[in-house]
Structure 1
Amino acid sequence: MSSINISHFTAWITIEGTNCPIYALKSTTNPRDATCWIPSQEGKKFSVNWSNKFRDRPVHAQLSIDGVVCSTHFMLDAFRYPDDADAIGISYATTSDYTRRDFVFDAIQVTVGEDDDAYLYTLDNPPAFGTIRLELWEANIDQIVRAPFQHRYGGEVLESQIIHETSKKAGAHHVKFGGEYVVPQATVNMVNGTRKGTAALATFTFNYRPFDILLAGGIIPRHAVKAEAVDERIHDLEVQLATLRAQQRAGITPTRQPKTDWRSDPRTGKVVQVIDLTDL
């Protein structure tokens, strides 16, 4: 499973274009809330995605990462705006009318030696690492103007964090904004509106930790890891077979068998088979 459904809303995470699996999905006492766990990957960019199957009303969305509001936007109703998309992906924070910074999973840095005392406060008041939350609210729309995008300044920024080496958060991940890059100024629907009602239509919470921590804590079951290893093995064999068939069609006859090697994947710590076809 790689998505959460609440009513006719769906939310999911993609890591560099690939759907991220979810684990330990559960609903709270509120049927409009759901929470799960996902395995974060150090140094990888990711996107928070959501869709509205019917678009029967305008919706205001607020995305918070590690306790910081990183994006607010509207999805308009299909009756008045039938050509608008019914799915949105948020993979960056805007920093100006022309610049962005992508969301990136990163390792939490810990103190070393003489720096310890300066970060003792992180033991009693640790930063809010490890949570991606998307809230969807019904919205009142006051005005919509088609115009060049205008950035709203003053928001918080997610940067690299340092905590005391004895903190319980050591070894975990957090999210930071990646390097700033320039994009053309887009023409968009600049929407003025407000939330409607006293409760969100849907709240999706993705708690994240490195794969090994989730595995050790029983969040990711062992049988899921075995199934994933089988899928990876099948994929490797399919790649090898496709390569051999391509060579056959081209009239190339391999003079020897491909080399195989077993290596540790630095992202997950798992041992995987590597097939070397470069000499065939």
Structure 2
Amino acid sequence: MLSLHGVSAWVEVDGKELEQYGVAEDLDQNQVTCWIPSQANKKFSVVFRDNVAYREHSLSSNLELDGSSISGRVILPLTTTRNTPNFARDRKVVQSEHIVSTTSSRPFVFSKLELTEDENEYLNQSSAHLGEIQIKIYKVQVVEKRLCLGSTVPCHGKVHERSKKAVTHCVSYGQEVEIPTAYSCITRLLDSSFPLATFVFKYRDFGLLQANGIIPKPPPAKKKAAVSVDVLDLTTGDDMERQPIGDEIEIVEDTTEKRTASLLSKRSNPSEVQPTKRIKREENFVRGEVIDLT
């Protein structure tokens, strides 16, 4: 949220505060400016809250959407302390609609901007504040309370191609809905006509803000780490020929002696030596032949 001089303000969509980017303060003008992402066909609310305990005067808001003034809201003088359960609720105002009659209103909606090439539209329209939600907070004294008669909603119509300022969205108003009887306050400015605080929310499509570096781009995806391959040590394990130990060494040595004696005996008696078998040489194997091993 944006905060200045004990007052905070923010914009909500689906009951959640939109994140602010590129926040800048101008203390000489009592103004804070930021960027927020907008999404077409989404309803939104503008919220402001008084954070000061024991404030003696009322606060009044003046809301402007795309440069068109909308009737604001009033926070009455403090009647509870910061420690009471209702402090935050009583010191916060949520404005999500434009009152068109005593018993009906139309909700705020982000919509796609309609463009035209008609030169008359370009000459007759003011687009200096297109794509802006501005809320000014004043110190006031409530003079009178009366029924709110409402008013017609502002209508920008189509915007000339040359005046859109890279804006793709605008504020429109949803279908009329029934509300409880609305009342309005007649107020008188205190101190001066200079606002206590001004909050400016410049709304743009999320992708446009990201493309212009206002919203940081996500970091590139990390490359997957190379999969480590476990190298098996083939020089150990149960598959190796087991080395004889203990009594097995004696058995091996005894067997070796017997084999040596047998070979010496055969050499001394040539008649016992089996004749060498003659090996019949087969024809060369031709690639592609099938050998029947059965």
TM-score with structure 2 setting the length: 0.64
Instruction: Tell me how far apart the structure 1 counterparts of residues 65 and 74 of structure 2 sit (CA, whole Å).
Output: 18
Partner residue, 2:187: 193
Largest Rg, 1 or 2 = 2
Partner residue, 1:178: 174
Q: Report how many aligned residue pairs link the two structures.
A: 213
Q: Render the CA deviation track for 1:206-261: whole Å, top value 9, x for unaligned.
A: 11111111111111122xx459x9xxxxxxxxxxxxxxxxxxxxxxxxxxxxxxxx
The verdict on how the C-alpha distance between 1:45 and 1:226 changes in structure 2, with shifts beyond 3 A counting, is: farther
The verdict on how the C-alpha distance between 1:109 and 1:86 changes in structure 2, with shifts beyond 3 A counting, is: same
User: Is residue 148 of structure 2 the alignment partner of residue 151 of structure 1?
Assistant: yes
Say which of 205, 208, 212 aligns to 2:207: 212
For residue 125 of structure 1, report the CA deviation from its aligned partner: 4.7
Partner residue, 1:71: 71
User: Is residue 226 of structure 2 the alignment partner of residue 221 of structure 1?
Assistant: no
Instruction: Tell me how far apart the structure 2 counterparts of residues 134 and 171 of structure 1 sit (CA, whole Å).
Output: 20
The verdict on how the C-alpha distance between 1:142 and 1:110 changes in structure 2, with shifts beyond 3 A counting, is: closer
Secondary structure, aligned partner of 2:90: coil
Q: Which amino acid aligns with 2:6?
A: H
The verdict on how the C-alpha distance between 1:54 and 1:25 changes in structure 2, with shifts beyond 3 A counting, is: same
For residue 102 of structure 1, report the CA deviation from its aligned partner: 0.3
Q: Which amino acid aligns with 2:188?
A: T
Instruction: Tell me how far apart the structure 1 counterparts of residues 119 and 196 of structure 2 sit (CA, whole Å).
Output: 45
Q: Which has the higher strand share?
A: 1
The verdict on how the C-alpha distance between 1:178 and 1:80 changes in structure 2, with shifts beyond 3 A counting, is: same
Structure 1 ranges of 4+ moved more than 4 A: 80-84
For residue 68 of structure 1, report the CA deviation from its aligned partner: 1.1
The verdict on how the C-alpha distance between 1:93 and 1:226 changes in structure 2, with shifts beyond 3 A counting, is: farther
Partner residue, 1:10: 8
* RMSD between aligned residues: 2.8
Q: Which amino acid aligns with 2:153?
A: V
Pick which of 37-46 and 4-13 moved more: 4-13
For residue 167 of structure 1, report the CA deviation from its aligned partner: 4.1
Partner residue, 1:92: 97
Unpaired segments of 5 or more residues in structure 2?
222-294
Within 5 Å, which residues of 2 pair with 1:103-114? Answer: 103-111=108-116
Secondary structure, aligned partner of 2:42: coil
Is the contact made by 2:9 and 2:47 (CA closer than 8 Å) also made in structure 1?
A: yes
Is the contact made by 1:159 and 1:177 (CA closer than 8 Å) also made in structure 2?
A: no
Is the contact made by 2:73 and 2:93 (CA closer than 8 Å) also made in structure 1?
A: no
Unpaired segments of 5 or more residues in structure 1?
230-280
Instruction: Tell me how far apart the structure 2 counterparts of residues 200 and 119 of structure 1 sit (CA, whole Å).
Output: 33
